[in-house]
Amino acid sequence: MKVILRNPRREIEIQGPMVADSLLRRLEINPETVLIICNGTLVPRDTRFSDDDEIELRPVISGGAA
């Protein structure tokens, strides 16, 4: 499956199937810091991805302190 990461934007290929929570653990991403978007749809952490899915892990942390 194709996994899209941001800041900077990049794409990686990971062998599926895999549950979203496991994907985050494998990539060492804190689930508090991203949205999981599968084929353009927001999904929760227990979603099972198949090999032909496109997954975006969209960061949600913004840095302005003002």
Partner 1 sequence: MKCRRCKAPAVIDIRRHNAAFCSDCFIHHCKEQVKKAIDEFKMFGPEARILVAVSGGKDSLALWHILTQLGYRVDGLYIGLGIGDYSDESGVKTRAFADAHGYKLVEVSLPSDYGYDIPTAASRTNRAPCSSCGLSKRHLFNKAALDGEYDVLATGHNLDDEAAVLLGNVLHWEPGYLGRQYPVLPATDGFAKKVKPLVKMGEREMAAYCVLLDIDYQVEECPMAEGNRHLGYKEVLNSLEQRSPGAKAAFLSSFFSRGHEYFREAAHVEKGELNSCDECGSPTTGSRCAFCALRNRVISETPVSIGRISNAPISISRKD
The contact set with partner 1 (CB under 8 A) reads 6-7, 30-35, 37, 41-46, 58-66
Measure the CA–CA gap between 46 and 55, rounded to whole angstroms.
14
CB of 18 to partner 1, least distance (A): 17
Q: Which is nearer to partner 1, 15 or 46 (CB)?
A: 46
Residues 23 and 45: their CA atoms lie apart, in Å, by 9
Cβ proximity to partner 1, 7 vs 15, nearer residue = 7
Task: Indicate the residue among 15 and 63 with the shorter CB distance to partner 1.
Answer: 63
8 φ/ψ angles, rounded to the nearest 5 degrees: -85, 160
Q: Dihedrals φ, ψ of 13, to 5°? A: -105, 130
